[in-house]
Amino acid sequence: MLLIVVWWMVAIMGAFSDPQANLLSAGCSQYKVDSVPEFTKNLNATLLDLGAQLNSSKYFATAEQARGTAPVFAMVQCRKYLSTADCVACFAIAAKQIRNCSAGINGARVIYDGCLLRYESTSFYDQSTQDGHYGACGNQTASPAYQASVESLLSDLQIASPKIPGFFATSKKEVVGEKSVVYGVTQCVETISKAGCQDCLAVAYADLQTCFPDADGRSINVGCFLRYSDTPFFADNQLTDLKPFLRNGSKSKKKVLIAGLVGGIGLLLLATAILFLWFQLHKKPKSVPREGDILGATELRGPVNYSFKDLKSATKNFSEEYKLGEGGFGEVYKGVLKNERVVAVKKLAISQSHRAKAEFEKEVKIISNVHHRNLIRLLGCCSNGPELLLVYEYMANSSLDNFLYGNLNFVRTSCS
């Protein structure tokens, strides 16, 4: 009875061009239902329902008969480049083929180039992939240029198809340097999610890696179909414009690339800044031009690096007549600079170790920038071999003794 109905559906649609009924996969479950007559009745009803839906120009349909104790869930899907007549014809052939499974088997599926038909005793509509998927390869080896075009085309289809309503896309790509074209199609069942479609196509693409560099190949899975060939299997008017669905992906890739570049540049700039600061902190102080600093030092310029020659001249070679006194850390002399400014020069008597000199320079930088009316002003310093000298403001009254003759730590404490 079912065969009569199937052939009737084909007959009323008239002649067809090509239902693409090349059988790719057929499988039957290993389990039987408890009530075979009831299950068979429900299966027949779902197949009739699917055929009627395809007859109304649909390319994807599901049907359920859940009455009694032997429910049936069924699904059919045709490639959208088939005509309605070819879709119905492919379904008719699939319905006949699926009957090769024993009566009462609780599930079966068949996959053709042109369509998919499946039924189960439980719902399976959300399944995107299942064990048993594989790649079906041709037997003709293609060129490396063709292989590159295949990978590029399938990559575009894999990206675009999950974003397209109905999860279906076709495309073609000319092979650079050859008079050949590669054609491709991707399709997911419409009841799975976008993520499920993406996952299934990823598995399908991986399965096809076993076919490269064959000129054609197909990936077989329950939730999706992927095919490429050097022979056209759909008309040019059935091509899908992939650009709108690839554009967002391209923008996202560009954003990621830009973000990566910006991040990399930011890290480079940060590293450069750290290195700059490190060198600034560890480089030796530069000698300040004598004419500029000695003749016109200002209070905001920090410590002046006086030359030993100028200080020696200002103190008349540290003569006794210019000597103001001496304390625990050295002798103090009056000095008259070339700009006629009167200063007090203290020759320090401390360790000449590298660490002592470093501490000396550090203290000079700190003390020279401290301003207070009750503190003597440190104008600068001089380091000449073993000679370490400090240059202070000259104070004519006796308070100078408190600053110059006292302990160097007193100066540090006062300036901290």
Residue 260's pLDDT is 55
Kindly indicate the confidence band of residue 28, based on its pLDDT and cuts at 50, 70 and 90. Answer: very high
Tens-digit pLDDT profile for residues 65-104:
987 889 999 999 999 999 999 999 999 999 999 999 999 9
Minimum mean pLDDT range among 46-60, 179-193, 369-383: 369-383
Q: What is the pTM of this model?
A: 0.58
Residue 294's pLDDT is 34
AA letter at 95:
A
Looking at domain 135-245, its CATH class is alpha beta
The rounded mean pLDDT for the chain is 80
Over range 280-302, report the average pLDDT: 47
Tens-digit pLDDT profile for residues 156-167:
999 999 999 999
SS (H, E, C) the chain: CHHHHHHHHHHHHCCCCCCCCCEEEEEECCCECCCHHHHHHHHHHHHHHHHHHHHCCCCEEEEEECCCCCCEEEEEEECCCCCHHHHHHHHHHHHHHHCCCCCCECEEEEEECCEEEEEECCCCCCCCCCCCCEEEECCCECCHHHHHHHHHHHHHHHHHHHHCCCCEEEEEEECCCCCCEEEEEEEECCCCCHHHHHHHHHHHHHHHCCCCCECCEEEECCCEEEEEECCCCCCHHHCCCCHHHHHHHHHHHHHHHHHHHHHHHHHHHHHHHHHHHHHHHHCCCCCCCHHHHHHCCCCCCCCEECCHHHHHHHCCCCCHHHEEEEECCEEEEEEECCCCCEEEEEEECCCCCHHHHHHHHHHHHHHCCCCCCCCCCEEEEEEECCEEEEEEECCCCCHHHHHHCCCHHHHHHHHC
- Give the Å distances, CA to CA, from 202 to 184, 207, 227, 314: 15, 9, 13, 86
Asked whether residue 299 carries a pLDDT value surpassing 60, the answer given is no
Question: Which sign, positive or negative, has the C-alpha torsion 5, 6, 8, 13?
Answer: positive
Asked whether residue 13 carries a pLDDT value surpassing 60, the answer given is no
Nearest to 414 by CA among 360, 373, 380: 373
Residue 395's pLDDT is 77
Asked whether residue 49 carries a pLDDT value surpassing 70, the answer given is yes
Residue 362's pLDDT is 61
Residue 6's pLDDT is 44
Tens-digit pLDDT profile for residues 232-275:
999 999 999 999 999 754 444 555 455 555 555 666 666 666 66
Comparing 89 with 13, the larger pLDDT belongs to 89
Give CATH superfamily name and number for 2-120.
Gnk2 domain, C-X8-C-X2-C motif (3.30.430.20)
Residue 213's pLDDT is 87
Percentage of residues of the chain with pLDDT beyond 70:
70
Q: State whether CATH 3.30.200.20 applies to domain 290-415.
A: yes
Minimum mean pLDDT range among 171-180, 265-274, 389-398: 265-274
Residue 352's pLDDT is 55
- Domain pair 2-120 / 290-415, same fold: no
Residue 53's pLDDT is 97
Tens-digit pLDDT profile for residues 318-365:
898 888 887 656 788 899 988 888 889 888 766 555 665 666 666 666
**Domain range annotation of the chain:** 2-120, 135-245, 290-415
Minimum mean pLDDT range among 19-33, 130-144, 277-291, 374-388: 277-291
Comparing 400 with 136, the larger pLDDT belongs to 136
Minimum mean pLDDT range among 24-28, 326-330, 405-409: 405-409
Tens-digit pLDDT profile for residues 360-389:
666 666 665 555 555 677 788 887 777 788
* Distance between CA atoms of residues 101 and 120, nearest Å: 12
Tens-digit pLDDT profile for residues 31-41:
999 999 999 99
Over range 177-190, report the average pLDDT: 95
- Whether residue 323 is annotated as binding a ligand: the answer is no
Comparing 303 with 234, the larger pLDDT belongs to 234
Residue 409's pLDDT is 38
